[in-house]
Amino acid sequence: MKTVRTIINTVLTCTGRLTGRKAMPEQPRRIGVIACHWLGDTFWASQTIPYLKQRFPGAEIHLFLRRNFSDLFYNMVVPGNIHLIPEVISDRKREKFSWLKLIAAARKYRPLHLELVIDLTGNRYSALFTKLLKPDCSAGFEGDELGALYSLRVDRSEYADLHLWQRLFKVVSTVIPEMAMPECPVPPSLKYSFEQACGCSGLDSSLPLAVVAPCAGWAEKEWGDDNFAALAARLKAEGYQALISGTEKELPRNIKIAEKSGATAWCGELGVLCALLSGAQLFIGNDSGVGHIAASFNRGKIVTIFTGSTLPEKLAPPGVNVSVLDSSRNTVTVDEVLSCCWNK
């Protein structure tokens, strides 16, 4: 497999040399950022935008997202410059893919005449989409078979040992060499206040709030619905408003959890969820993007439960109030989770 990858990269590199590439403009007028991820990765990608705006103050930034996570970029990117491209998938095992649709999507956005495209997604689909946009210069990860399509790319050895959220800054550093690596993610700008978010979610902003997120990207990452139901019931008994949060697709499951525990099941606008997380006293969930957003506010206690399908050392939310429990080594009990919640 490595031999095939090496051959493909060599051919692509030679092709790039033969066709020629323009040097990156000192002050590009139009920059594209490709962040076709799930929620957590998209939140991490949002951390790079302020650095790009500072370094290229006159540039028009266009953002390409797989899903509508535009609330994470509130007051960062002009709404009209946020483009949804479901054709660029992040995981072929869970998502349908069509090469023809990807090519058509690239043709649609080629008239933007992007001078610089930074691909933070890092897979073969985003690499090809980047190439098909025909920017003057592009930057991305070394990636897999199509990594050589980028003008500037980060060698795997430069990011292999980093936390996943820090890896994106390695790509950006190819166009901003003087950039310093931030220590922790900063929270998203809020569209709503905590009080407004509570009002539209049926919550009392004067009472303590615990946000519980039982679902994750795939079942192997989940602690289990019964465990979360028991946890939510205990939190209710302690005087917390327990909000079972998830997507519209996850709502039927969350309603069942809420019915067992006396909690409230909710799904809604991402901007509202961010505002709720900004004022919540507790967040408990699996390894998922919501936990990373919650941890960035550095306000409430964050408890993230890993099951062994992902690595805490690469994916645990950075933050001062974060506790990590790993159920792959020992069974994590409700009492253990609550002990982390009360441990300040």
Residues 247 and 303 in one domain: yes
273 and 310 fall within a common domain? yes
Question: What pLDDT, on a 0 to 100 scale, did the predictor assign at position 144?
Answer: 64
| 173-222 pLDDT, tens digit each | 999 999 998 889 999 999 999 999 999 999 999 999 999 999 998 889 99
Q: With a cut of 90, say whether residue 147 has pLDDT above it.
A: no
Query: Does 12 fall in a domain?
Result: yes
> In terms of domains, do 209 and 279 share one?
yes
| SS3 state at 68 | coil
pLDDT at 92: 67
Task: Check residue 98 and give its pLDDT.
Answer: 93
Q: Give the chain's domain count.
A: 2
Task: For 92-138, write each residue's pLDDT tens digit.
Answer: 667 889 999 999 999 999 999 999 999 999 899 999 999 999 999 99
Cβ burial of 100 (10 Å; 0-12, 13-18, 19+) is: exposed
Closest by CA position to 32, among listed 69, 7, 62: 62
How far apart CA 197 and CA 268 sit, in angstroms, is 10
Same domain membership, residue 83 and residue 218: no
Domain C-terminal end among 172, 207, 230: 172
Its domain, for residue 58, covers: 2-172
Q: Give CA–CA dist 8/15, Å, rounded.
A: 11
- Tell me what pLDDT residue 21 has: 52
How many helical (H) and strand (E) elements, i.e. helices and strands, does the chain have? 13, 12
Residue 178: inside a domain: no
Rounded Cα distance, 258 and 244, in Å? 7
Do 226 and 106 reside in the same domain of the chain? no
Note whether 167 and 198 are same-domain residues: no
Query: Residue 1 has what pLDDT?
Result: 45
* Count of beta carbons in the 10 Å neighbourhood of residue 81: 17
Give tens-digit pLDDT for 58-80.
999 999 999 999 999 999 999 99
Residue 125 lies in a domain: yes
Domain stops at, among 111, 140, 172: 172
CATH number, domain with residue 221? 3.40.50.2000
pLDDT-based confidence at residue 344 (cuts at 50, 70, 90): low
- Whether residues 138 and 30 share a domain: the answer is yes
Q: Record the tokens describing residue 279, joined without a space.
A: 């004022």
